[in-house]
Amino acid sequence: MGAQKWVLAPCAVLLLLQLASASHVIHRSLEAEAASPSIPPSIVSPLLRTGYHFQPPMNWINDPNGPLYYMGWYHLFYQYNPKGAVWGNIIWAHSVSRDLINWIALEPAIKPSIPTDMYGVWSGSATILPDGTPAMLYTGIDRPNINYQIQNIALAKNKSDPLLREWVKPGYNPIAVPEPGMNATQFRDPTTAWYIDGHWRMLVGGLKDGRRGVAHVYRSRDFKTWKRAKHPLHSALTGMWECPDFFPVHEAGVQNGLETSQFAAKYVLKNSLDLTRYDYYTVGTYNNKTDRYVPDDANGDYRRLQYDYGNFYASKTFYDPAKQRRVLFGWANESDSVPHDKAKGWAGIQAIPRKIWLDPSGKQLVQWPVEEVEKLRAKPVSVANKVVKPGQNFEVTGLQSYQSDVEVSFEVSSLEKAEPFDPAFSNDAQKLCGMKGADVKGGVGPFGLWVLASANLAEKTAVFFRVFKDGYGKPVVLMCSDPTKSSLTSDLYKPTFAGFVETDISSGKISLRSLIDRSVVESFGAGGKTCILSRVYPSMAIGQNAHLYVFNNGETDIKVSHLTAWEMKKPLMNGA
């Protein structure tokens, strides 16, 4: 019922398309429960509801599902509870877009309806079949009270419909069930399939022997009958692998993406680790005869490289043929409490879609917000060649920064005073940042941005760099997001998030971009080598009371060679 309220009839879709260029701001009352005394009014304020990040008008969302480009439209499906702001009653909600930024909600695409998905339609992925029909592989739950997981398929009913409004579940479901010896409650999230020499392949995430994460390989000639390969594509001692994603990448430094069935010298295998709740990936090689994947760096296997070091999970990529790029969607959950979510009436957003490609080093990916988000930029404010002395800061004025996009290039005057790096932290950036937060003085840094800051600085979220020097005198760059002072509200989850930045800072130069959107700060260090999404809920620094500063808590001068900040307009967002 909740869903029906905001679903659009096809004629309304056309009307909205005509309106799409106009900048309509419609504030919908959230119909939140009357706030109880323990719910601070700021938590339910519309000023903390994100303005340009993907979300439905209300209720709970989680994993992005089956993203694809079809006949001029981007489609995003996602796990959605039509009945409330907590997980449950999950269906596949469906939205479409011309540009990945303005979204129109359609009727839900997939709901429980057949014996093999009657108790749940969970995550899955899109594959376009040779005759042009889009197909969704997804996980169904087929019995009550136990999450017994089996894999199903749904096909677009009318491939002439660019909006792909109707989906049918063929009679040959299910296409894969847990086999004896497999843990049936840890068997889910099929990938986009790829095609080699007469056979399709797909992956399903799983758990073996209670602690080994595995990516099972299934093969099929006709996309109907699937058989599991004896060996998984890859596995590691990490606990359950959810939402695997596997795709080829162009040679180092080329920003274009590759279609999933295209062969390449390098591949990426990403898994969402149920135990840590982060998305880890490796870069490696794929043998299409044995269907085995080997990461280039065995030591980094699902320990070091994350798409994002903050609230970002269950992500999925797709190849966009319109712009020859690979685009990443990821779910960002809330960092407030369940009572807060119930009072707000909503929980969960999708990160701004990111283009991803292999870094020139060949060792990691680079991620950057899709260029279309720049259409929302208005009213730039710039600062150039401004030196920030040790212990100093300055405010960037002239814009409403609570919904903004900030790009800044820093120049460190010298690396002389960089603190020594303790190699014990080599695989634990987050712990290092927890010990050396934004207010802990350093040699080179901490320097960066205070965003969503109150005028008296009692509230502020810091996004910053700190430079160390290892035993050989080589700089080690840490990027952190420190929300410990982000809000005076209690019952918030405020972890410091951090990752290392593999960048050559010997020239002193490093860049930072932050997409600030009321209760989310999504940051890209060094041109997208390290990314951190953080959810924060200020009690004072909301709306016009939010300020933006550049700070330097190190002993070394930092120059802002260039900073530009834009207010961001509100796109069409599913009718909200």
Ligand X SMILES: *[C@@H]1O[C@H](CO)[C@@H](O)[C@H](O)[C@H]1NC(C)=O
Select from 24, 298, 391, 493 the one that contacts ligand X (CB under 6 A): 493
**Cβ distance to ligand X smaller for residue 186 or 317:** 186
Do 292 and 234 form a contact (C-beta atoms < 8 A)? yes
* 434 secondary structure, DSSP code: H
Stretch that binds ligand X, among 48-56, 66-74, 183-191, 348-356 (CB under 6 A): 183-191
Q: Which is nearer to ligand X, 235 or 552 (CB)?
A: 235
* Cα(485)–Cα(465) distance, integer angstroms: 17
Measure the CA dihedral 273/278/284/288, to 10°: 50
Radius of gyration over every alpha carbon of the chain, rounded to an integer in angstroms: 23
Give the nearer residue to ligand X in terms of CB position, either 172 or 263.
Answer: 263
Residue 120's closest CA among 75, 87, 96? 87
**Among residues 41, 171, 180, 197, which is the contact residue for ligand X, using CB under 6 A?**
197
> Is 161 an interacting residue with respect to ligand X (CB under 6 A)?
yes
Stretch that binds ligand X, among 42-50, 90-98, 140-148, 179-187 (CB under 6 A): 179-187
Taking the complex as a whole, the smallest distance from the CB of residue 247 to ligand X amounts, in Å, to: 13
Q: Which is nearer to ligand X, 205 or 442 (by Cβ)?
A: 205
Interface stretch with ligand X, choices 65-73, 180-188, 376-384, 546-554 (CB under 6 A) = 180-188
Task: Work out whether 133 is an interface residue with ligand X (CB under 6 A).
Answer: no
Q: Min. distance of Cβ 186 from ligand X in angstroms?
A: 5
Determine how β-strand 461-469 pairs with β-strand 377-388.
Answer: unpaired
**β strands within 471-554, DSSP E:** 475-482, 497-501, 509-517, 520-525, 530-535, 547-552
446-485 footprint of ligand X as x/- string (CB under 6 A): ----------------------------------------
Cβ closest to ligand X, residue 101 vs residue 273? 273
C-alpha distances out from residue 113 to 116, 170, 211, Å? 8, 12, 33
Per the annotation, the verdict on 222 as an active-site residue is no
Binding mask 207-246 for ligand X (x = CB under 6 A): x--x------------------------------------
Min dist CB 209 to ligand X, Å, is 9
**Which amino acid, 529?**
K
Binding ligand X by CB under 6 A: which of 23, 38, 158, 413? Answer: 158
The reply to whether 263 sits near ligand X by the rule CB under 6 A is yes
**CB of 344 or CB of 469, closer to ligand X:** 344
> Any contact of residue 367 with ligand X (CB under 6 A)?
no
Site residues for ligand X, 283-302, by CB under 6 A, read 288
Which residue has 């709740």 as its token pair?
277
Under rule CB under 6 A, residue 72 binds ligand X: no
> Given the complex with ligand X, which of 266 and 323 has the nearer CB atom?
266
DSSP state of 444: E
Separation between Cα atoms, residue 502 and residue 380, nearest integer Å: 30
Q: Least separation, in Å, of the C-beta of 161 and ligand X?
A: 4
**8 A C-beta contact, residue 148 and residue 116:** no
Q: What's the 3-state SS for 163-196?
A: CCCCEECCCCCCCECCCCCCCCCCEECCCCCEEE
Of 328, 249, 384, 291, nearest to 524 (Cα)? 328
Site size for ligand X (CB under 6 A): 18
Q: Which residues in 326-362 are b (16+ Cβ under 10 Å) and which e? A: bbbbbbbbbbbbeebbbbbbbbbbbbbbbbbbbbeee
Sheet holding 266-273, edge to edge: 241-249, 266-273, 278-287, 292-295
Q: Angle at CA 482, nearest 5°, toward 563 and 328?
A: 70
Binding residue (CB under 6 A) for ligand X from 89, 185, 545, 564: 185
Residue with tokens 């590691």, as numbered in its chain: 236
Interface with ligand X by CB under 6 A: which range of 158-166, 346-354, 538-546, 559-567? Answer: 158-166
Stretch that binds ligand X, among 153-161, 224-232, 386-394, 556-564 (CB under 6 A): 153-161
Phi and psi for 31 in degrees, rounded to 5? 50, 35
State which residue, 259 or 407, has the beta carbon closest to ligand X: 259
Contact 356, 316 (CB under 8 A): no
Question: Which residue of the set 63, 189, 336, 341 is catalytic?
Answer: 63
* CB contact at 8 A, 443 and 555: yes
Of these, 277, 379, 431, 474, which contacts ligand X (CB under 6 A)? 277
Q: State how far the Cα of 475 lies from the Cα of 45, in Å rounded to an integer.
A: 43
Which residue's CB is nearer to ligand X, number 172 or number 493? 493
Helix ranges (DSSP H) in 221-369: 338-344
- What x-and-dash track marks residues 320-349 binding ligand X by CB under 6 A? -------------x-x--------------
Report how far residue 110's alpha carbon sits from residue 2's, in angstroms, rounded to the nearest whole number.
Answer: 16
The verdict on 306 binding ligand X (CB under 6 A) reads no
Residues known to be catalytic = 63
Residues that bind ligand X (CB under 6 A): 158, 160-161, 183, 185-186, 196-197, 207, 210, 263, 277, 288, 311, 313, 333, 335, 493
